[in-house]
Structure 1
Amino acid sequence: MTIKTLEDLFIHELSDVYSAEKQITRALPKMARAATDEKLKAAFQQHLEETQGQIERLDELVDKTEGVRIKRMKCHALEGLVEEAQEIIESVDAGPVRDAGLIGAAQKVEHYEIAAYGTLHALATQLGYQHAAQLLAQTLQEEKETDKKLTGIATKSA
């Protein structure tokens, strides 16, 4: 995809995050099964439900924003982050060390998503896509809350 305008960039970034969310829906159940801490398992399950809602929100954004259509592409950054999480599952024995590694892997994903949704929100605002900006802000807030929850689990304050 050639990117020449802010609209092109918005569609590219939106397509990328859509792919990322789809990949996350496949990775979270594996991470939940691999975790031993019950709060961590529950956090992964809750975030899976949130992610499914975020995909629905992206679908709504596309349906209600004139001229915006998601392109078929793969988010290579998320693919790499998912591979890192899989390596932790395969190479670290079940227990607190694996859980710590899974939290780190999940927070890398959250930070990627926070950056992606922050960028998309700014672009939607610049382009005058008010409804899209509201939907993106909602998802951005959820990602920040998930990151905070993971930090709490890691520090045992959740």
Structure 2
Amino acid sequence: MAIKTLTDLFIHDLSDVYSAEKQITRALPKMARAASDEKLKAAFEAHLEETRGQIERLDQLVETTEGIRLKRMKCHALEGLVEEAQEIIESVEKGEVRDAGLIGAAQKVEHYEIATYGTLHAMAVRLGLKDAAALLAETLQEEKNTDIKLTEIAEQQQ
């Protein structure tokens, strides 16, 4: 897809984050099983449900915004972040150190999503897509809240 307009870039980035969210729904159950801290497991499980809601919100955005159709693509950035999390699971013994690594891996994902949703929100505003901007702002806030929750769990570990 040749990107020539802001709308083209918006569709590209929206398609990319859609792929990212789908990858996250496959990674979170693995991360939850690999965690030993119950609060961390619960946070991963809660974020899985939230991520499913975010995918539904993206579907809603596409259905209700004229001229927006997602492109089939793979988010390579998220693929790499998921691979890093998998390396932690495979190479670090279950326990506090693995949990710390999983928190770090999850926060890298959250920061990627915060940057992406922030950019998408700004583009939606600039394009005059008021309803899309509201949906993206809601997801952006959820991602920020998850990042804060992960930081709190990390700081409570001994």
Report the TM-score when normalising by structure 2. Answer: 0.99
The alignment yields a C-alpha RMSD, in angstroms, of 0.7
Q: Residues of 1 paired with 2:137 and 2:67: CA distance?
A: 20
Structure 1 portions without partners, runs of 5+:
none
Structure 2 counterpart of 1:125, one-letter code? V
- Hey, what's the Cα distance between the residues in 1 that align with 2:35 and 2:49? 17
Per the alignment, residue 108 of structure 2 pairs with 108
* 1:62 paired residue number: 62
User: Take 2:64 and 2:123, find their aligned partners in 1: how far apart are those partners?
Assistant: 16
1:155 offset after TM fit, Å?
0.1
1:23-81 deviation line (CA, Å, top 9, x unaligned): 00000000000000000000000000000000000000000000000000000000000
Code of the residue aligned with 1:28 in structure 2: it is: L
Query: How far apart are the structure 2 equivalents of 1:39 and 1:65?
Result: 38
Using the alignment, how far apart are the partners of 2:156 and 2:127 within structure 1?
A: 42
Residue type of the alignment partner of 1:104: G
Secondary structure in 1 matching 2:47:
helix
2:31 alignment partner in structure 1: 31
Aligned-partner Cα distance in 2 for 1:131–1:116? 18
Deviation at 1:13, TM superposition (A): 0.2
User: For residues 135 and 45 of structure 2, what CA distance do their matches in structure 1 show?
Assistant: 22
The amino acid that maps onto 1:99 is D
Residue 134 of structure 2: aligned partner: 134
Number of aligned residues: 157
Identity between Structure 1 and Structure 2 (%) = 81
Q: Which amino acid aligns with 2:127?
A: L
> Which 4+ runs in 1 deviate beyond 6 A?
none
* Alignment of 1:15 onto 2:15: yes
Please, what TM-score do these two structures have when normalized by structure 1? 0.99
Question: Counterparts of 2:13 and 2:119 in 1: how far apart (Å)?
Answer: 8
Structure 2 unaligned segments of length 5 or more: list them.
Answer: none
Distance, in Å, in 1 between the alignment partners of 2:8 and 2:156 is 43
1:122 corresponds to which residue?
122
Equivalent position SS for 1:28? helix
Match of 1:97 in 2: 97
Matched residue of 1:42: which SS? helix
CA apart distance, 1:134:
0.1
Supply the AA of the counterpart residue of 2:52. Answer: Q
Q: Quick one: distance in 1 between partners of 2:137 and 2:107? A: 19
C-alpha distance in 2 between matches for 1:101 and 1:43: 15
